[in-house]
Structures are given as structure tokens and as C-alpha cells.
Amino acid sequence: MLQVDKNAEGFLLDLNTWNLEIAQHLAREENIELSTEHLAIINIIREFYQEYNLHPGMRVLIKVLQQKIASEDHKIDSIYIHMKFPHGIKQLSKIAGLPKPINCI
């Protein structure tokens, strides 16, 4: 069994311990089976956080995703994100090994 040190809300205590195996473990706890689309979104939000040291808001995340992964197969909007991560950026951040977004309850 994978041992993951998390706080009471399920966010990693040490962000540097995150890896794909931990992401899959955290996703399973959230009843999400990670696909390549999930992983693309996770990698993009991690890159954004590493560059700016903050979480993107929903509108910013949508713009970044549209630039990086948009295709004719699917439209990138808030509905798309919520289909992948039903509890939004908070859930996405948890699985991505990032801290809880400041503006999330």
C-alpha cells in the first residue's frame, strides 16, 4: 500500500514527493481514473504553479488549456474541466500535488 503524507483535507504535506504513482493514488481516492487528458491538465496546472507560484483561476486555466491542448475533438471550457475534475480546481490541485488554492473553502 502506498504511504502518502497528507493533511486533514488530503493535500500533500511535501509537494516535492509528488509523482505519477501518487497522482494515481490521490485520483483513486477521489474516484477518478486518470486518462491522458487528465494528465495533460495536471501537468499544465503544475507548470503554471511552478512558474507563477499560484493557482490559476478558472478563466485563466481555461485559456491556458485552450492554448496547449485544444483540438477539434473537444472544446475546452469550464464544463470540460468539471467533467474531468467534478470538484473543480481544488480537486485538480489535490491530485496534482499542489497546495489547496487560497480562494477555495
pLDDT of residue 72: 65
Instruction: Note if 104 is an active site residue.
Output: yes
Taken in order of first residue, the domains within the chain and their CATH numbers are: 15-95 (1.10.10.370)
Q: Which of 15, 58, 62, 104 is catalytic?
A: 104
**String of DSSP letters for 58-102:** HHHHHHHHHHHH--SS---SHHHHHHHSTTHHHHHHHHTTPPPPT
pLDDT of residue 2: 79
Residue 46 CB burial class (10 angstroms; 0-12, 13-18, ≥19): middle
Q: What is the pTM of this model?
A: 0.92
59-99 per-position pLDDT tens digit: 999 999 999 887 666 789 999 999 999 999 999 999 999 99
The rounded Cα 36 to chain-centroid distance in angstroms is 13
pLDDT of residue 69: 85
